[in-house]
Every structure is written in structure tokens, then in C-alpha cells.
Amino acid sequence: MKFFLIILCIGGIIFTLTQLPVITGGGIKEVKNALDKIETVELSGKTLFISDLHLTARPALEEQFNLDFSDVQNVVIVGDFFNQPKDFESFGNSEPERMETVLKEITPQGFSGKIFFIFSAHSHDPRLKEISRLEIGDFEFVFLGEYGKFLINGKQEIIAFHGGQLHEGIFGGGIAWLAKKIGQEVVLEKLGKKRFDIPSDTWVVSGHSHVPGIDQASKVANTGSFVGAPLNTFIFRIHVGSGILFDKGKVELLQYEGLNIKKLYPFSI
């Protein structure tokens, strides 16, 4: 029995480590190569980073996401825009039609900037093949791929990716939550910044863990989510509905109130 428990513990440790590539070193070379190849997108004005909307075919889109971002010039969706590719496919017969349908529903009146989409390489987001850019009324949609590199107002450099490069969501979310409880923000993101050789004066923004956080000294932030986590109302009590705003040299974590939030997980809201 004792031998069995030892084997079980060892197996559990090994399995957990496989869920944390930023610790084991899995894929680090590939991430570095990808970051070296992406082109910088130059932006001006207020820029809001959000992630993990996990949009689904039902209920109506306005019941899932109604954030008013009409006062910013740029929005960057850092992965898990949709909950599953089949949810995206439910909004039309082609990629342009589907994306236009969704964006028209969730974009507030008065927004005339750009919406950038960085997809999650996991199972949630669709792999867009037909569109890289769309003009929709007064605003523009730009698909960037798996990574984004930005320069805001010629001063602030940001690298953004969803976060699967760091951890699997459940395990990484648990670690992020525990670390935050003891006053340590975005620990896996900070480790990733170091392991990916990202310059110290460059901000790193990701999502995936659903645990919002920011470390001003390390220049690392997590956007949180708009769906929460399983058992959130009883155990985790993570704020649902958040983003990272870059504005005139300032970077802050915004936590929104009064939003329409759908119940994606048991007891998530």
C-alpha cells in the first residue's frame, strides 16, 4: 500500500509538471523563434487588452458580453475569444460572415478604432484561414495569429499571447490563484517572460488562467476573464470581467462591474 501511494504521488507530480511547460521547458525554443519573427504593430491612443470571453452560440451575444469600450482606440483580444470552433461556426456560413456578425453584436456604438485578435492555440478558438483583416462600419478587425507585438505611442512595447505557452489552464489557474492569495501576482507569466528572453522594459500581457493580475515592477499582466471559473462563487472568488489598459504611459488593471456575464461553468458567477 505504501509503495502504491509513493507511485501515485510520483505519477501525480509528473502529470502536473507536464501541464506546466514554462517550468519543464517544453516549447520554449519555439516561442522564442515565433517572437523573433513577428512584426511590431504601431498603435496610438488608449489600448485595452481583454481575453477569455468564451463566446458561445447561446445565449444571445449581448447577454454574454456587453462591455462598453467606446472610449478606447484599440482593443486586443488575447485568446479564447470563442469557447469552441463550433460556436464560431454557428454565426454564419463563412469566416467573414461569422466574424462580422459577432463583432457587430459586441462592439459598442461610437467605437471607431481597431480590434485585434490573438488566438489561443488550444481547442477553444477557430483557426482563421479566410480573413486577416475586415472593415466593419467605422472600425477595423485585424487577425494577428498566435502572438502580437505592439508599440504604443512610440514608447511602450508590449508582447501579448494567450498563455498556453506557460501552462494548461486548470493547473496554471490554480497556481495563479494560490500565489495571488499570498500576495504574489502573475508568477507563471513572470517566469515565462524570463524564460522567453523578453526584455525587462517590455510589457507582457496574457490571459488563459482567468486570474486577473498585474505586477508593475516586472511589467507583466494577466487580463482575467469574462466567465470566471468552476466553483468561483464558493471557493475562488475571482473577479469576473477585467482588462489591462494602456493609456498615456500608465498601465492599470481594470475590474468592471454590472456586466452581462453568462454562466459557463457550475457556480462560476
Question: Are 117 and 124 within 8 A, CB to CB?
Answer: no
pLDDT, the chain, mean: 91
Tens-digit pLDDT profile for residues 111-168: 999 999 999 987 799 999 999 999 999 999 999 999 999 999 999 999 999 999 998 8
Tens-digit pLDDT profile for residues 183-233: 999 999 999 999 999 999 999 999 999 999 999 999 999 999 999 999 999
- CA–centroid distance for 11 within its chain: 30
The span from the CA of 177 to the CA of 181, in Å, is 6
Tens-digit pLDDT profile for residues 62-76: 999 999 999 999 999
157, exposed or middle or buried, with CB in 10 Å at 0-12, 13-18, 19+? middle
The span from the CA of 37 to the CA of 202, in Å, is 16
The span from the CA of 95 to the CA of 32, in Å, is 30
2-255: which CATH architecture?
A: 4-Layer Sandwich (3.60)
Strand pairing partners for 160?
A: 148, 205
> Which of 121, 51, 115 has the alpha carbon at shortest distance from 85?
121
User: CB-side exposure of 210: number of CA atoms within 13 Å?
Assistant: 27
